[in-house]
Structure 1
């Protein structure tokens, strides 16, 4: 079965929604206008309940199917993230961002559109049992809105039994899905290291305590952690992404700093990486006679699919896109996702949907492929109908 005919019939309407959202991006938890737009659409569709103000601007909407009010009625959760990125758009599209320095460079406008498309279909047809909980989440890019929604109790409050999400994948063959039955995306932590020495004239380094040399030594040393402390089959990444110090060519600075992103899949490896980073920096600080202050931001956990849910989702994806268009044993990726918090709270799965050639995620020329929205909406709709069929 390809895209559902009813969803295909309002593909142009979905394009209009997506392009409106694209032109009006909002960041982190400040998705007020985005939430208002979504709520207006949900009211038009006739969903049964709308609960705004979750995680500040998040929304949970409920659509009821057959037997929805029975005590043991199942509820399936479908999630879309709403926030944009602090990037200046260069697409030149007629619907480009109207807000300088902000744009939907990760396709969250497309994710919202896919879930709205599914919501319209499900509210209209109601060919399922139990309930559907539509989770519109802010602050995926910055702030961990998924964690906040879980901590605010959405899983228990709305009786959600399982939860699913999709992310668009540019430069993956159009309409193709990929996922796997375990860890799909990495955890992400960030280390900010602040070094203090003693500044002075570049001509008299013997009178100074040079933080630059200390930073160089620390950065080189932490690159030995993975090849010498982590088992070769436990994938992990440490990338130093910033080094800041100095003001002039003839001054040894007083201070320096660097930061690193740390990613892996195994919680034990995650703890090991943190411990070794601290040990190496503290040891080098002593060796170089500087002081070191470490801010270690414990970020999103790994995104881990429940095996049964991933297999079920892949089967639904085959129904929508075809047998050969689904890879259910895809390689895991070092990117991260705060949908991980929802998967820690409930079984479920996360999938990528190929959108064809184009600029990559987080690039200022990125634009979501509108032709993919009906595919994602059809996937969500059929997921519900098959997970919770009519009696």
Structure 2
């Protein structure tokens, strides 16, 4: 079962949808144009059971199959990023400072393509819940949709999602059972000392020196406080302080991210960071507070559903075109909340060579849209056959 012929024939139409979405990027939960576009397309496919306004701008649309059966969930994210586009494409963003730099326009298009096919054929039993989600990049829209009860409200028994992946072979899939993507935590450290003249540091309590000491000490969490075979990343990504060469500032700030797969490692990092910040602050004579915020949990695939999904992916992409034991990713994904609520799987779809995700020159590869749409459709027909 390769790419479905009728979906392949839809490719020009799908490209038009994707280019419209790309020209009109919207952020986080504020997606009025995007959600209206999606709802209009769903109605044009003859789908009438459409639930809008979930998690502000999310949509769940139900396609009824033939006869009784369970409900399978298919998810696509819809939000863009606050990046100025540099692709030079004819369909480039028309909103300065915003662009679809992660391919969510393509993900939405693939699910729309599957929706049109499934609504036309209904070659399955039970129901399909088409989940169009806001705020994957910022805000945890997946969590909000789950908290608003979509799994119970629509009787979803299992759920699946895919993400495009530049610089992996075009049209090939990869994933793994169990943990696939990392949990995403953030830390913010505020340091207060005593400012003064840069020529008279003895009259100050320098927060810059304290910030440097804290930053260096935090790195020992990875090198000295955890088992080397457990995946862990601690990255300081922000340092803000000072205003002039001859002024010792009053305050300094450090911020960054922590990536883990094991909740026990997560707990250790949070505890050690608090201890290090307090101890370093005392040694430098400053005051410091550490705010540790837990973000998206680890994305964990259900082993049985992953095995099922990779078999379907191989039917679509071809034998030898699916890596079912891929390496873990240290990036994060809020589809994790849906996988915590229901068993399912998340897969990556190779997009071929090109700029990486979140780069101003990135653009989704329209050639893979029929592959993703066919995968979604075959999941339904295979999981819930007539």
**TM-score (structure 1 length as normaliser):** 0.98
Give the drift of 1:48: 3.8
Structure 1 portions without partners, runs of 5+: none
1:95 matched to 2:96? The reply is no
Aligned to 2:20: 20
Aligned to 1:46: 46
Paired residues in the alignment total 386
SS of corresponding position for 1:374: helix
Task: After superposition, give the CA deviation of every residue in 1:289-309 in whole Å (9 maximum; x if it has no partner).
Answer: 111122222100000000001
Check whether the contact 2:277–2:289 (CA below 8 A) recurs between aligned residues: no
1:270 matched to 2:266? The reply is yes
Give the drift of 1:176: 0.8
Task: After superposition, give the CA deviation of every residue in 1:268-305 in whole Å (9 maximum; x if it has no partner).
Answer: 11111111111111111111111112222210000000
Structure 2 CA distance for aligned equivalents of residues 158 and 223 of structure 1: 46
Aligned to 1:313: 309
Structure 1 CA distance for aligned equivalents of residues 268 and 299 of structure 2: 19
Listed as ranges, the matches of 1:11-160 within 5 Å are: 11-68=11-68, 73-160=69-156
How much is the aligned-residue C-alpha RMSD, in angstroms?
Answer: 0.6
1:183 matched to 2:152? The reply is no
Comparing 333-342 and 43-52, the one that deviates more: 43-52
Aligned to 1:218: 214
Listed as ranges, the matches of 1:281-360 within 5 Å are: 281-360=277-356
Check whether the contact 1:199–1:253 (CA below 8 A) recurs between aligned residues: yes
1:230 matched to 2:226? The reply is yes
**TM-score (structure 2 length as normaliser):** 0.99
> Which stretches of structure 1, 4 residues or more, deviate above 3 A after TM superposition?
none
Check whether the contact 2:84–2:97 (CA below 8 A) recurs between aligned residues: yes
Structure 2 CA distance for aligned equivalents of residues 278 and 384 of structure 1: 47
Structure 2 CA distance for aligned equivalents of residues 162 and 151 of structure 1: 17
Check whether the contact 1:48–1:64 (CA below 8 A) recurs between aligned residues: no
Aligned to 2:369: 373
Check whether the contact 1:360–1:366 (CA below 8 A) recurs between aligned residues: yes
Aligned to 1:260: 256
Task: After superposition, give the CA deviation of every residue in 1:20-79 in whole Å (9 maximum; x if it has no partner).
Answer: 0000000000011000000000000112410000000000000000124xxxx3000000
Structure 2 portions without partners, runs of 5+: none
